[in-house]
Structure 1
Amino acid sequence: MQVVLLERVEKLGQMGDVVKVKDGFARNFLLPRKKALRATKANIEQFE
């Protein structure tokens, strides 16, 4: 799953980076903790 990072995540990237992570990591860690958003076209455009 591709996500847009909302903050710096160690060993993953900086705020605004679009990164590919495993689905479970995104669903169980990044998304619930508001550290990332799904990389939809609208979300990617917000960070450009």
Structure 2
Amino acid sequence: MNLILKKDVSNLGRFGAQVRVAEGYARNYLIPQGLAVPVTPAAIKQFAAEKDAHLKKMQVRKD
């Protein structure tokens, strides 16, 4: 199952990354814990905007 990560997950990926995992892992752990969402065109668009906002926030913190 393909997912987009909503948070950093150790040994899997960082926020906004698209990953492929077993369906059981996705349905029983990642999705219920709020760590990931299934890949859809709407989810891709939403996370692109959130990732840009996150990067801008991180840039402001560096300055």
Instruction: Calculate the TM-score normalised by the size of structure 2.
Output: 0.73
Q: How many pairs align? A: 48
Where do 4+ consecutive residues of structure 1 move more than 2 Å? none
Q: Max radius of gyration: which structure?
A: 2
Give the percent of matched residue pairs that are identical in Structure 1 and Structure 2: 42
CA RMSD in angstroms, aligned pairs only: 0.6
5+ unaligned residues in a row in structure 2: which ranges?
A: 49-63
More strand by share: 1
TM-score by length of 1: 0.94
